[in-house]
Amino acid sequence: MRKGISFWKSDWLAGLVIVLGLLIISFSTDVIDNLERYAYDLGVRVSARDPGDRIAVIAIDDQSIANLGRWPWPRTRLADMINALHKGGARAIGLPIILSEPQLDPGLAALRDINVFYNGNLAPLAEGTPAIGELGSKLSQAEASLNTDQHLADALAQAGNVVLPMQFVLGDPQGNPDKPLPDYVLRNQVAAVRDRIGAGEAGYLPPDTVQAIPPIALLGEKAAYIGHIASNPDADGTIRNELLLVHNDKGYYPSLALMLAAKSLNLGVGDISVNLGESLRLGKLTIKTDPYLQMRTFFYASHGGKPAFSEDSFYDVASGKIPLAKYKDKIVIIGPTAYGLGSPQVTPISAGMEPARILAHTVASILNQNFFITPEWGTALRWIAVLLAAAFVVFGLSRLKASPAAAASGIFVLLLVVTHFVLMKSSGIWVELMLPAIIVAAGYVLITTKHYLVTEKAKEKSEVQSAESNRQLGLALQQAGQLDMAFEKFRKCPMDDSMADVLYNLALDYERKRQFNKAVSVYQFIYDYDPKFRDLAVKLQRAQKLEETVILGGGAMSSAAATMMLAPGSDEKPMLGRYQVEKELGKGAMGVVYLGRDPKINRVVAIKTLALGNEFEGDELKEIKERFFREAETAGRLNHPNIVTIYDAGEEHDLAYIAMEFLHGHDLARYVKPDTLLPVSKVVSIVYKSALALDFAHQHNVVHRDIKPANIMFDPDKSAIKITDFGIARITDASKTKTGTVLGTPTYMSPEQVAGKKVDGRSDLYSLGVMFYQMLSGVAPFRGESMATLMYKIANEDHVSVFEAKPELADILPCIAGIIDKALAKDPADRYQTGQEFAAAIKACIDASKKGSGDALPDAE
C-alpha cells in the first residue's frame, strides 16, 4: 500500500504529467505560439543591420496637416509633390494611399453644372469641344483647374516611376468574380509561375482573394506599376510577414513593396519568376520565403534616437525647406503618419507603425537581402530540444537536490534562449525553442513547489503568509486608489472583526467616489459575516438606494443624455472632484453643465463636463485627454473682465470637467432674430468689448475657433458680457473628425475654416463680424438651403451689405457697414489684424456718428 502511494507521489511521474500537459497546451491553444512570437519579436529587435540610404520617407505628419489643412487634401497637392520629386531625380516613388474613389471637389461639381447650363448642353462638354465665348472658356479653364484627379494623373504620366497600391480582400472565393480586372491591373500580373513540387496539391500557395479594389482608371492607367497592399497579420495581430504575391481569379499579383523594389532596379513584372512552394526571384535577387511565398521582413532598428530611414515632413519639402536634391536616385515613399490618419499596425519593433514606414522596411529588406527564415532542419532541431527537455524533467530533476536542480534548469533554459537569439542575430534563422524552455522552467517550478507543499505544516504556513500578504497588499492598493484590486485581495483573507473594519473603510471609499454599486457589494460581503456590525444595515440600505438613483455622465448613455441625478428627498449630494454638485443647468453637444459649490471656500461655480469616453477610445482617448487639459490650462491663464474665469479642470471616472465662474444672464443666441434684436447701442458695446477680449486672448496665443452668440454670455442688468468655451472647440473638432460629421451649422465659420486651412486670431474676428451683422440686422450674412450651399457661399460669394438687410442702420451709424465689410473679408490679410484694431474702428465710427448727429449714441465702453 505504501509502495503504491509512493508511486503516485514520485517526481518522475509528476514530471511526465507536466510534460504531457504542456504538449497538450501547445497543440490545443495559442499560449506557446504567442510566447514563440514574443521571443521572435525580441530577436528582431536585437538583430542589427544597416538599412542603407536608398529609401526616404516623406511623411504627411501633424505639422503638414496643421499647415496645409485637414486630410484628405486635394490631389493636386500630391501631384505637385510628384512633379517636384521627378524634377529632383527620384528613382522610384511609392504612394501607399488608397485612390480607389474619384475626388470630386464641391466647386468642380458646381462649375460642371454651370458649364452645362452656359453652353446649352445636356451633358458636360466632350474633351476637345470648344467652349462658347470668353466666359465659356474661363469656365472650362476653371473646371480643368479643379479636376484634381486629372492633375495627379498628369503627374503620374510625366514622372513614369510612381507605384500605386491596390486593395485585395483575402478569403476563399466561392465562385468566379463578377467582372474581370481592368487591363491596367492585368498588366501587373506575374506570368512566370511554375509548380515543380506539386505545391497546389500540398496547399503551398499564396493566399486567395475574394475581392479586388483597384485605383480609379484615370490614375491606374498612368501609374508605372500597381502592387497589392493586402496584409496577413499573425494570430496576435502583429505584422511580421510580407505577402509577396496574392492569387485573384487566375493570376498572381505582386505586392506594392515588391514592385517598388523592382522599379528602383529598372525591372518590371516580367523580371519576377516564381516557383510555387519554393522561392521567388526578382531579377538576380533571390528572396527567401516560407512555402506560401511570405517573406519575414527584417525591421531595422533606429540608431541614436534617429529613425532607420530618412523621414521629412511633407510640408517641409513642399515649402522648399528640404532641397529636392536630397531625393536624387532615392526610393521615395509618400504616406500619412499624422495622428488619426491611416491604420497603424503592430510590428515586432513598434506597437503602432504606419503603413508608409512598414513599406520602407519591407522594400529595404528585399533590396538588402535581409530576411528571417526557418530552414528545413529547424523543425527537427526544435523537437530534438523538446525530447531533451522532457527527459531532463522526467528523469533528471527527480535525481537532483534543490540547488543542483536550480542550476541545471537555469543553464538549460539559458542555453536555449541564447541559441535562439544568436541564430536570429547572426544568421537571420528562427527556430522555435520556447516550448522546450517552458518545459524545463515549468517542470522545475512545479516539482519544487510539490516538494514544498508535501506537509500540512508547510501548507498552513503558506496560507498564513498568503493572508497577511493579501491584507498588506490590499491596504497598499486602497491607499493608491485602486479599490477594485484592493477588494480582490481582501476577499482572500480570513474574515474577522478586524477584517470587517478594513472592508467597512473600503466601502466608504467607494461611496466617496460615488461607486455605490460597488459599495453595496462590500457592505453585503460584511453583512454575510455579521449583519449587526456597526451601522451596517443603515449603510447598506442607503447605498442600495443611491445605486438605483445616481447616474453619472458617460458609460452606456449617450453624451447628450449624460446627467447626474439625486434621489428625491436625499440629503446626499454627489461630488465631482472637490466640488459638490447642486443641480443640472443644461446640456451641450458633448456633456452636461452643473451648478456646483466648492465646500472649502463656499464658492459657487459652473461645472462643464465632457464624456470623452463616449467619443473616443484607446490611444485616441489618451491623446484627447492630454489636449483637453492642455487647452484648459491655456484658457485658465486668460484673466480678463470679458472672458469667463477658469478655476479648475480634472477627471473622474469617464468624465472630464472644467470648473468655471458662474455667470448670471444668458447667451446672446436669443438676440439674433428680427423680433428680438437689442438696441444698436448695446450691440455695438457688446461687439466692442468682445473684440478687446479676443485681442487679449490672441496676445496670449489662444484662438477661440468657435465665436458665436451661444458662446457669449450677457447680463442685461449690468450690460456685462463674458466669452465662454475657450479651448472646448478643439476637442469638439476632434470629435467631428472622428465621426466624419459637422456638428451644428457653419454660419459663423470663416472661409479658411470652411476650407480646412490653418486658422489664427483673424478667424475669430471674422466670426465676430458675422455675429455683429446678425445682431444688427436679424439675418446672417450668408444663408443656404443646405450646409454644402452655405459653406460654398462663405468661401466664394460676397455678402449683402448690412444696410440692404436693414436700411435704417444707415441713418444711425453710416460707417458701420464698412467696419463689417472689412471684418468679413475673404482673405485674412484684408481683415482687421487684431481685436484692438477692430475695437478702434468701432470707437472711431461712434465718435464720428456723434459729431454728425449729436449724442444719439453712447461712447464705446
Positions annotated as catalytic residues are 706
Q: Dihedral sign, CA of 200, 202, 206, 209?
A: positive
Nearest to 801 by CA among 785, 784, 826, 779: 779
The C-alpha atoms of residue 462 and residue 453 are separated, in whole angstroms, by: 9
**372 in helix, strand or coil?**
strand
Annotate 233-249 with b (16+ C-beta within 10 A) or e (fewer). eeeeebbbbbbbbbbbe
Within 13 A of 354's CA, how many CA atoms are on the CB side?
A: 21
Cβ distance 624 to 734 under 8 Å? yes
Q: How many residues does the chain have?
A: 861
The C-alpha atoms of residue 607 and residue 656 are separated, in whole angstroms, by: 10
The C-alpha atoms of residue 516 and residue 239 are separated, in whole angstroms, by: 44
The C-alpha atoms of residue 156 and residue 220 are separated, in whole angstroms, by: 9
Neighbouring residues of 29: CB distance < 8 A, sequence distance ≥ 6: none
State the SS3 of 154-217.
HHHHHHCCEEEEEEEEECCCCCCCCCCCCHHHHCCCECEEECCCCHHHHCCCCCEEEEEECCCH
Computed over its alpha carbons, how large is the radius of gyration of the chain? 35
The C-alpha atoms of residue 507 and residue 126 are separated, in whole angstroms, by: 77
The C-alpha atoms of residue 269 and residue 283 are separated, in whole angstroms, by: 10
CA distances 30 to 26, 40, 437, Å, are 7, 15, 16
The C-alpha atoms of residue 789 and residue 825 are separated, in whole angstroms, by: 19
Cβ distance 337 to 60 under 8 Å? yes
Nearest to 742 by CA among 110, 64, 70: 70
Residue 323, all three cell numbers: 532641397
Please report which residue ranges of 346-455 form alpha helices under DSSP H: 355-368, 376-391, 402-427, 434-452
List, in sequence order, every beta strand (DSSP E) within 244-353. Answer: 245-248, 251-254, 272-275, 279-282, 285-287, 294-297, 310-313, 331-336, 345-347, 350-353
Q: What is the DSSP letter of 399?
A: G
DSSP H or E stretch at residue 88 = helix 75-88
CA distances 219 to 153, 318, 333, 439, 815, Å, are 5, 22, 17, 56, 54
Neighbouring residues of 175: CB distance < 8 A, sequence distance ≥ 6: none
Residue 347, all three cell numbers: 510590428
Cβ distance 563 to 587 under 8 Å? yes
Residue 807, all three cell numbers: 436700411
**580 in helix, strand or coil?**
strand
Nearest to 646 by CA among 627, 630, 665: 630
The C-alpha atoms of residue 791 and residue 747 are separated, in whole angstroms, by: 8
Q: What is the DSSP letter of 679?
A: P
Cβ distance 203 to 263 under 8 Å? no
